[in-house]
Amino acid sequence: MERTTVSYDKLYGYMANMLEKGMKYPRASAEITSKVLVEADARGHASHGVARIKMYYEEVEGGKNHPEAAAEVVHETPVSLVVQGNSAPGFPTSKFAVEKTIEKAEANGTCMTAVRSSCHFGMAGYWAEQMADRGLIGWAFTNTLRAGIPTFGRERLLGTNPICVAIPIGRKPHFMLDMATTTVALGKIEVAARRSGTMPIGWAVDENGKDTTDAVEVAEINRSGRSRYGGQLYLGGATEALGGHKGYGLGMLVELLTAGLSLGAPTYDTYVERCDICHYFQATRLDLFGEAKQIQAHVASIIDRIKNSPTAQGQERIYIHGEKEFERREKALKEGIWLDPATWLRLDDYADRFGLEHLVP
């Protein structure tokens, strides 16, 4: 039988089992890691889905990710936290940080949390959504491995450095802007490398600073670290003509909020001896600005006015950020999560490594 889709619950249970038995994650860490990975695939973001098992396995085998470690608070005030991740997996570390951020925000109005010495935390939207689900404005930022080139530079010094902000509007889906500050997330280049080997012009440049469509080569440069040169472009491209300096500025903003405020490793120092990734979370109560339900209704009315405005010729609909992912997830819950052939093969490979049965639909 051709394997194309698998149910949400089956994929979640399978990945949690693989992480626990194959990679020695504590059960709670395996469950939250699996949850966020499966959520990404359900929403159509294979770049942050279960195929990431390869990355986490290599982190653990390389001594950069310590599954048995646990995060701890090293500084706090009524409205702020600094969390030391101790090289634990990024998912339980982020769960720990976000839960404490929500607790302080609900009690005191807002909370800003900087995290250092963590590992990859998956899809930023998952964490911001946890805050919006509680009626809070949620922010989730992270730095990453070296991937992006500053405007007018040649050396990879910054990450894809995503930004996510979720605003509750009294109904689902929340408004949720979740974006890399580079043209695309590195994971999308890795997906392109797995599926076809090519990518569009404008995503990245080679080691000589020339446009390239070779996704395999760019993914290899980024992951292997064999060269400091070549990598991804920021939103707007390589020059100021189309606003490349603006995308670069957004990437720098994320870098300073994550690594800067946490006293953690900048992107150019990540993945040396440890993952050393830094995150920034913030949660804010709407009632700091007035009556919360009134604000939600007003925000929803702004969104509806934009959604219902005239469409361009040939277009059927105007989307609000977060809608496509929400609708894909609803469909996946009913029909199953689609995994590409390369991902099925990757899961089989790691099942064989760990002495586990293959996933079946």
For residue 72, pLDDT beyond 80: yes
- pLDDT score, position 211: 84
Q: What is the predicted pLDDT for the residue at 230?
A: 85
The pTM (predicted TM-score) of the whole model is 0.93
Q: Give the three-state DSSP class for 357.
A: coil
Using 50, 70 and 90 to split pLDDT, how confident is the model at 1? low
Pairing of strands 204-205, 277-285: unpaired
How high is the pLDDT of residue 202?
A: 85
* pLDDT on residue 250: 98
What residues contact residue 228 under an 8 Å CB cut-off, 6+ apart?
A: 146, 155, 156
Q: How confident is the model at residue 224 (pLDDT cuts 50, 70, 90)?
A: low
pLDDT in tens, 323-360: 999 999 999 999 999 999 999 999 999 999 999 999 99
Residue 101 has pLDDT above 80, yes or no: yes
The answer to whether 48 and 122 are in contact (CB under 8 A) is yes
16, two tokens: 């949690």
Give the mean pLDDT of the chain.
95
Q: Beta strand pairing status for 80-84 and 231-232?
A: unpaired
Check pLDDT > 70 for residue 233. yes
> Residue 319: exposed, middle, or buried by beta-carbon count in 10 A (0-12, 13-18, 19+)?
exposed
Domains in the chain, please, with CATH? 5-64+340-354 (1.10.1530.10)
Asked whether the bond before 173 is cis by omega within 30 degrees of 0, the reply is: yes
Q: Is 225 a residue whose pLDDT tops 70?
A: no
